[in-house]
Chain A
Amino acid sequence: MSSIGQQIRAQLPYTKRNAASLALLIFAMVLTLSAFAEVGLARDGRLPLGLPLYGGGLVILGFAAYFVQAKFAPYADPLLLPLAVALNGIGLAMIYRLDLDTSKTKLDARAAGQKLAEDEASAPGQLMWTFIGIAMFVVAVLIMRDTKNGEGRFAISPKTMQRYTYIVGLSAMILLLLPIVPGLGGQVNGARVWIFIGPFSVQPGEFAKLMLVVFFAGYLVNKRQAMSLIGKKIGPLSLPRARDLGPIMVIWFFALGVLFVQKDLGTALLYFGLFVSMLYIATQRVSWVMIGVGLLAIGIFVATLLPFMGHVNQRIDIWQNPGPYFDGGCLVKSGEVVPVNPDTDLYKQAAAAGSQLPGQTACRKLGGEYSDSGQLLKGLFSLGEGGVLGTGLGQGEPWRTPLSFSDFIFDSLGEELGLTGLMVLLLVYALIVQRGMKTAIAARDPFLKLFAGGVSFVLALQVFVIVGGVTRLIPLTGLTTPFLSQGGSSLMANWILIAILVRMSHDARKPAPQAIQDEGMTQIVSTR
């Protein structure tokens, strides 16, 4: 029986689908530009001032990306680029909508000489990062271009990465360590995941994510036979040899350790899921998935016991019962939650005593742990406001949610585009992931299979962790929403991810190289 991959390959058309890709790309651009126009009309009563710049820039870069793809990866999956452009464009329109510095009211007030605080949402910044992100895509596809005679100068393909498995793994570790280097890294919103280089702030974890996929893929391809076949069997579980599992456990513990130190639970969850899924793809052993999940459970249990990781079990409590934590709640020893929000006497007393953070001070006096579910609930209120059809772009009040432009951008979109819009966004994500998975299955090379499967799954998992968090499906942990959240590192990393998938799908879908000679004509030369 032929494998599923062979069946799919047999059915693949091996045709270039560039016209379809172009049509979809134009649709994605029309969608984006309409979104911009509506934001301007609804919010300010006029078309956005920067529409020619924003729109023109996006169109030029979009077409550049298309032409590079059509020339250098002509057999690429036609959906990936348009879907990514659509997501990026809608996210950009939403950030423009949330950046009230671009609104007519604020511009007029500034012109009248009023001094106003700047918004945290920054549409020009995000626009720049979008340009850079798409440029990264172009450059990545160019570097990974398919050359007729093997590899040209400076041309590398995803396959090339396999040669540098350990170097890439080491780089990932260094990148993850950077934020805890004093003077370079910094803490934002409780998580120490940023490094500051001059005026720029970078989240190295976003890039480390891709590198870890490369490392896991490269390593597992070499070892998977040994890992799945050799080993002790204890009951239904089969354990691998220590020397096969050792290096991968080292890097895994290292990653988790760094992340616990950085207090970035979401990323830890993401890497963990990535690790387990790739291990499963490589070895087909369900028992290993079980071991992995068990390890995670132990990890979380240990985390709840550690005093300095107190916010882990509190996050779980907030998830189940956010109400009392609104604007500040205090989990006391008895398991009860005492509200210490600004309306309570406890808060007022602490404030009167001159405390900078009255909620926390009041809670410390009670001997409990302080936390605040205000963000989560405000995000949910935002979703509730949207309902099924949404308020319409520019017509809601999504800026009432803190971090409405980054962690909670999905809720902001939910308010203005409604349930309908969110379903579309989730479908777009699901399509990208499934196209990636299809590429993995259709790929011929085991390393590329693992690589493509890994990057696709990591995208799905990231969307699940953050979107599930802001919709209260799972406890909230901070992660960026791919392509939508404000932030350069995330955009660049995700555009590179799309470039890799585009190149790999080109490889998988292009016709197999023709044999130069007929087999019948091959002379077999005996060496004896």
Chain B
Amino acid sequence: MNMDKPLRRVAIFGLLLFFGLMAQVNYVQGSQADKLRTDRNNARQYLNLFNEPRGTIMAGPDVLVTSIETKKSNPKYGRVYKDGEIFAPITGYFTNSGGSGGLERAYNLLLSGQDKRLANQEWFDTFIGKKAKAANVQTTIDPQAQRVAYNALKASTTREGGAVVMDIKTGALKVLASFPSYDPTTVAPQTGEAGVKRFDAMNRDRAKPNVDKAMSEVNFPGSSFKAVVAASALENGISKDSSVPAPKTFLLPGTNTTLPNSHEGGACEQGQAPLIVTFAESCNTTYGILGSQQLGKDKVTDTAKKFGYDQRIEVEPNMSSAKSTFTLPNADGAQTALASIGQGSNSATPLHMAMVAAAAANKGKIMKPYLMEKVVSGDSQNVIEEADPKEFGQAMSAGSADQLADLMREVVRSGTGKSLAQFNIAGKTGTADIDGVEFNNRWFVGFAPVENPRYAFAVYTVGDGSGGEFAGPVAGKIMQAVRKD
């Protein structure tokens, strides 16, 4: 009786054991590695964060964030934010527990020098284990315009405000300002216990200074949303000169409530008026009827989704906007009518509204908004990562977009934005009542310059009066600052 056969079988079984091990090692190190690195229990991701200087964050020539030596052993390095309140929505924060937000979080691996791409720059340094220097992040932000925006928001509002400016051809964000804000230096690693307390206090503060109003908070967009309803109308066979209903009041379907216009007299009481006139004069009744009856909920929802409604816009990794909403899924006619004039269930971020204006100014095409221009290695100054403008989507046809742009131009030429003519901007005003308080949400959403537009913007502030009177001039000032570069 020969033992060769069972020996061979056992040899094959032994090989199978090794194949099993190889498969498992491949699974763990190949596909599970990232999951393990960021596991909740994995303390490694928080260690050594403060022992090396982090990279800088820049806007144009301005250095926004730098690391400083604390002359202590732990944390060895602190973090200083120049004009922290102004740039907080962009830079985010970095605390002594290793928590972070904004670009500090989006590019944490590069800013902390841990990214694998940094180590591979010089093979010999890699061989002897010389630690890679942290990379520096260059943002798309226009620092001068950002300062102007923050100061203008602060001066014009009694409660809060946000402003967004984006380049319509690339999607690069030039301004992302929010008021009230906070200085991230006050919660940086070097502040220790005081920083932790300050951070907790901010989370409890009802004004939410650490939540930026430009993309992370939604509010009633008011009449500025009529741009979306108008876009939907233009996409569905109505042209800018088509006659649309413009009654004095509109009885909300299924209720005894009537929807009035915001002002007496003018085109909004004629019963019928060209679309462009109703847009310029911002007739509530027209857009209530268009949204709830003539076009209907589904068509407007469709258009709104094309503009980025119902989704979080990922501006940078781990840095997404809040979700804008048109109507709740089971909205009835009355609710849809209210939502169509930017009230009721409708809530939007300035970022989304700027994307609406960008579509109008850019032949219907929306570029994906972004903040990172490039990331440069701290050692070799090589560019590690560079902005790669991507299309977000075609929100409407080029023809409809041009007509919508004309509607916006008409607002400033003859409508609710007449007072803004001096600024060379076009756009839609918005004024939304907030239940129970005397303040309004005041909006101005548009593009600049009027001819051959290059930037889209949205400004949102809270206070007395209308969007045209108060948000418009803020937008005008910001756009004057932007255009200088």
Q: How long is the Cα–Cα vector from A41 to B127 in the complex, in angstroms? A: 8
* A186 at the binding interface (Cβ < 8 Å): no
For the complex, count residues of A whose C-beta is within 8 A of B: 63
A392 adjacent to chain B (CB < 8 Å): yes
Is B204 interfacial (CB-CB < 8 Å)? no
- CB contacts (< 8 Å) of A384 on chain B: these are 28-29, 32-37, 39, 42
Instruction: Determine if A381 and B37 form an interchain contact, defined as CB atoms under 8 angstroms apart.
Output: yes
Nearest opposing residue in chain B for A325, CB measure: B41
User: Is the Cβ of A473 less than 8 Å from the Cβ of B20?
Assistant: yes
Partner pick for B1 among A284, A429, A430, A440, CB 8 A cutoff: A284
Pick from B2, B29, B34: contact of A5, CB below 8 A.
B2
**B36 nearest CB neighbor, chain A only:** A384
Contact of A423 with B3 at beta-carbon distance under 8 Å, contacts A277-B10, A468-B20 already known: no
- A434-B15 contact, Cβ under 8 Å, with A387-B29, A472-B24: yes
> What residue of chain B has the Cβ atom nearest to residue A410's Cβ?
B25
**Interface flags, B1-43, vs A, CB<8A=1, else 0:** 1111111111101110110111011101110111111011111
Of chain B, the residue at the smallest CB distance from A387 is: B33
> Of the candidates A228, A414, A441, which one forms a contact with B25 in the assembled complex, judged by CB atoms under 8 Å apart?
A414
The answer to the question of A114 belonging to the interface, with a C-beta cut-off of 8 Å to chain B, is: no
Looking at the assembled complex, report how far the CB atom of A459 sits from the nearest CB atom of chain B, in whole angstroms. Answer: 9
Residue of B nearest to A377 (CB): B41
Interface membership of B329, Cβ < 8 A: no
B70 an interface residue at 8 Å Cβ cutoff? no
CA distance A395 to B120 in the complex (A): 13
Check B25 against A423 for contact (C-beta < 8 Å).
yes
Tell yes or no: B437 within 8 A of A by CB: no
Q: Which residues does chain B contribute within 8 Å of A422, judged by CB atoms? A: 25, 29
B129 at interface by CB-CB < 8 Å? yes
Q: Is A369 an interface position by the 8 A CB rule? A: no
User: What's the least CB distance linking B88 to chain A, in Å?
Assistant: 30
Q: Which of A72-80, A120-128, A448-456 contacts B (4 or more CB under 8 A)?
A: A448-456
Is A460 part of the contact surface with B, judged by Cβ < 8 Å?
Answer: yes
Contact: A460 with B29, CB < 8 Å?
no
Partner of A3, one of B2, B11, B37, B127: B2
* B44 at interface by CB-CB < 8 Å: yes
Q: Which residues of the partner chain A approach B26 to less than 8 Å between Cβ atoms?
A: 419, 423
Is the pair A426, B18 in contact by a Cβ cutoff of 8 Å? Answer: yes
B interface footprint on A433-451 (CB within 8 Å = 1, 0 otherwise): 1100110110000100110
Q: Is the CB of A471 within 8 A of B8?
A: no
Asked if B126 lies at the interface with its beta carbon under 8 angstroms from chain A, I say yes
> Hey, which chain B residues are within 8 Å of A234, CB to CB?
none
Q: Which of B13, B15, B41 has the most CB of A within 10 A?
A: B41
Nearest CB to that of B41 among chain A residues?
A: A326
Q: Bound state CA distance, A172 and B167, in angstroms? A: 80
Chain B CB count within 10 A is highest, among A38, A326, A433, A473, for: A473
Instruction: Assess the B14–A434 pair: CB atoms within 8 A.
Output: yes
A282, B29: Cβ atoms under 8 Å?
no
Residue B155 is within 8 A (CB to CB) of chain A in the complex: no
Q: Is A260 an interface residue (CB 8 A)?
A: no
The complex places the Cα of A327 from the Cα of B41 at a distance, in Å, of 9
A392 & B15 in contact (Cβ 8 Å cutoff): no
CA distance A3 to B5 in the complex (A): 8
Q: Which A residue sits closest to B39, measured CB to CB?
A: A381
Within 8 A of A (CB), among B93-116: 116
Candidates A281, A383, A441; contact of B28 at CB < 8 Å: A383
A380 at the interface (CB under 8 A from B): yes
CA distance A384 to B126 in the complex (A): 19
Cβ contact of B22, chosen from A323, A423, A450, cutoff 8 A? A423
| Inter-chain contact A453/B34, CB cutoff 8 Å | no
| B residues near A471, Cβ cutoff 8 Å | 21, 24-25, 28
Contacts of A400 in B (CB 8 A): 43-44
Q: Is the Cβ of A392 less than 8 Å from the Cβ of B126? A: yes
* A440 proximity list for chain B (CB < 8 A): 7, 11
Q: What per-residue 1/0 map shows which CB atoms of B23-67 lie under 8 Å from chain A?
A: 011101110111111011111100000000000000000000000
CA A467 to CA B35, docked complex, whole Å = 21
Q: Which of B11, B24, B29, B30 is A434 in contact with, Cβ under 8 Å?
A: B11
Q: Taking each of B15, B34, B42, which has the highest tally of chain A beta carbons within 10 Å of its own beta carbon?
A: B42
B129 in contact with A42 (CB, 8 Å) = yes
- Given that A388-B30, A426-B18 are contacting pairs, would A4 and B128 also be in contact in the complex, using a CB cutoff of 8 Å? no
A464 to B22, CA, bound (A): 10
- Give the Cβ gap from A314 to chain B, nearest Cβ, in Å: 18
Bound complex: CA A418 to CA B22 (Å): 13
B contact residues around A472 at 8 Å (CB): 24, 28
Partner of B127, one of A38, A284, A385, A386: A38
Please report the C-alpha to C-alpha distance between residue A464 and residue B17 in the assembled complex, in whole angstroms: 6
**Once the chains bind, are B22 and A395 in contact (CB under 8 Å)?**
no
In Å, the complex CA distance between A350 and B21 comes to 41
Asked if A264 is an interface residue, CB under 8 A from chain B, the answer is no
CB nearest neighbor in A for B22: A426
* A461–B17 CB distance below 8 A: yes
B128 and A385 form a contact (CB under 8 A): no
Nearest-neighbour CB distance to chain B for A332, whole angstroms, equals 20
CB distance from B23 to the nearest CB of A (A): 8
| Cβ-based interface call for A225 (8 A) | yes
Bound-complex Cα distance A327 to B127 (A): 34
* Most A Cβ at <10 Å: residue of B2, B9, B128: B128
Contacts of A43 in B (CB 8 A): 129
How far is A397 from B22 in the complex, measured between Cα atoms in Å?
23
User: Using Cβ atoms and an 8 Å threshold, which residues of chain A touch B18?
Assistant: 426-427, 429-430, 433, 460, 463-464
Kindly state the separation between the CA atoms of A473 and B8 in the bound complex, as whole angstroms.
25
**B73 nearest CB across to chain A (Å):** 14
- The reply to whether B10 and A281 form a contact with Cβ atoms under 8 Å apart is yes
B120 nearest in chain A by CB position:
A389
Once bound together, how far apart are the Cα atoms of A275 and B26, in whole Å?
31
Contact between A414 and B20, CB atoms less than 8 A apart:
no
**Do A468 and B36 have beta carbons less than 8 Å apart?**
no
The distance in angstroms between the C-alpha atoms of A228 and B10, with both chains bound, is: 18
Q: Can you offer 29 A-B residue contacts whose CB atoms are under 8 A?
A: A3-B2, A3-B5, A4-B4, A4-B5, A38-B128, A323-B40, A381-B41, A384-B28, A385-B44, A387-B116, A397-B44, A414-B25, A422-B29, A426-B18, A426-B22, A426-B25, A430-B14, A430-B18, A433-B18, A434-B14, A434-B15, A437-B11, A449-B3, A463-B18, A463-B21, A464-B17, A468-B20, A468-B21, A471-B28
**The 6 nearest A-B residue pairs measured at CB:** A384-B36, A42-B129, A437-B11, A395-B129, A460-B14, A419-B29
Q: What residues make up the interface of A, taking CB atoms closer than 8 Å to B?
A: 3-5, 38, 41-43, 45, 224-225, 228, 277, 280-282, 284, 323, 326-327, 377, 380-381, 383-388, 392, 394-395, 397, 400, 414, 418-419, 422-423, 426-427, 429-430, 433-434, 437-438, 440-441, 446, 449-450, 453, 456-457, 460-461, 463-464, 467-468, 471-473
Could you list 20 further interchain pairs (A-B, Cβ under 8 angstroms) beyond the known A418-B29, A422-B29? A3-B4, A41-B129, A228-B1, A280-B9, A323-B40, A326-B41, A381-B36, A384-B33, A384-B34, A384-B35, A384-B36, A384-B37, A385-B36, A414-B25, A419-B29, A426-B18, A437-B8, A453-B3, A463-B18, A471-B28
